Amino acid sequence: MAASKKILLVEGEADKGFFEQICKSLVLDTEVRVASPKDLEGVRNSKQGVFNLLPTLLPLLLIEDGLTHIAIIVDADYLVLNGLGYQKTIERVSDIVRPFGFEFDQNAASGILYKHSDGLADFGLWIMPNNQDEGMLEDWIKSCVNVSEQALFQQATQAVQQVSTRKFPEHLLSKAEVATWLAWQKQPGHGLYAAITDQLLDNQLPLFKELELWLCRIFAQETGQ
């Protein structure tokens, strides 16, 4: 199913391109495969698609020469729109991983970790945007915009807010703002990954560093395999 022994599972193609670039910046690209559910034979790309695939992936950690590390990144989404939100997302993931021996780590310094009693690498969970609030990847991006990009980003948000007949719902406002901002860059039409490749984000901000530390914590662990 997977060429790499280390898998970072994300919701879809846009997320995949974005996190591939972050992993490259951390020199994790030679070890970690960033994948969407469909890349791993899942039925569809989505948050639920990630959850549906976990019971297939987790047993591979117990097989010799199988997977050694698994982490997932999903959006919190919004409770008012029947999304799980932050707390219910944790509960949902906990219910999935517990039968495989993983228990929530209350002492994790960054991101969310589930520890295993038999020496397996920790299972990692990051809930966008910040493991606390409702929202999505684009809200994380908005929180990390470089100072040099703030003026342009503010213009993009104002332009979106001034659209008189929006065709998108309110909860997708952040997606529209980020997409508009990226469309005004030197090479319009690129995906979310351009925020990394074009150095549009401040990688010294606490939220950015926390994500990097979590990725390194998960995928740099040694295992008994």
Q: What are the tens digits of pLDDT across the range 121-145?
A: 999 999 999 999 999 999 999 999 9
What is the per-residue pLDDT for 192? 97
Domain total for the chain? 2
What is the per-residue pLDDT for 119? 82
Residue type, 102: F
Burial (CB count <10 Å: 0-12, 13-18, 19+), residue 141 = buried
1 pLDDT band, cuts 50/70/90, is very low
Domain shared by 124 and 158, yes or no: no
Averaged pLDDT, 189-194: 95
pLDDT value at 32 more than 80: yes
Residue type, 209: K
What is the per-residue pLDDT for 223? 64
What pTM does this model have?
A: 0.94
Q: Which domain holds residue 175?
A: 137-197
**Distance between CA atoms of residues 176 and 24, nearest Å:** 26
Q: Report the share of the chain in percent with pLDDT over 90.
A: 79
**Distance between CA atoms of residues 130 and 116, nearest Å:** 24
What is the per-residue pLDDT for 84? 84
Q: Report the share of the chain in percent with pLDDT over 70.
A: 96
Decide: 72 and 10 in contact? Cβ < 8 Å.
yes
Domain shared by 82 and 18, yes or no: yes
Domain shared by 168 and 79, yes or no: no
What is the per-residue pLDDT for 137? 98
Classify residue 186: in a domain, yes or no: yes
Lowest-confidence segment of 77-91, 93-107, 126-140, 193-207 by average pLDDT: 77-91
3 pLDDT band, cuts 50/70/90, is low
Domain shared by 68 and 157, yes or no: no
Classify residue 224: in a domain, yes or no: no
Q: Do the strands 32-35 and 6-10 form a parallel or antiparallel pair, or are they unpaired?
A: parallel
What is the per-residue pLDDT for 64? 78
**Distance between CA atoms of residues 202 and 25, nearest Å:** 13
Domain shared by 20 and 120, yes or no: yes
Domain shared by 84 and 124, yes or no: yes
* Both structure tokens of 63: 């097989």
Domain shared by 77 and 169, yes or no: no
Decide: 138 and 124 in contact? Cβ < 8 Å.
no
**Distance between CA atoms of residues 187 and 174, nearest Å:** 21
Averaged pLDDT, 111-118: 92
Residue type, 85: G
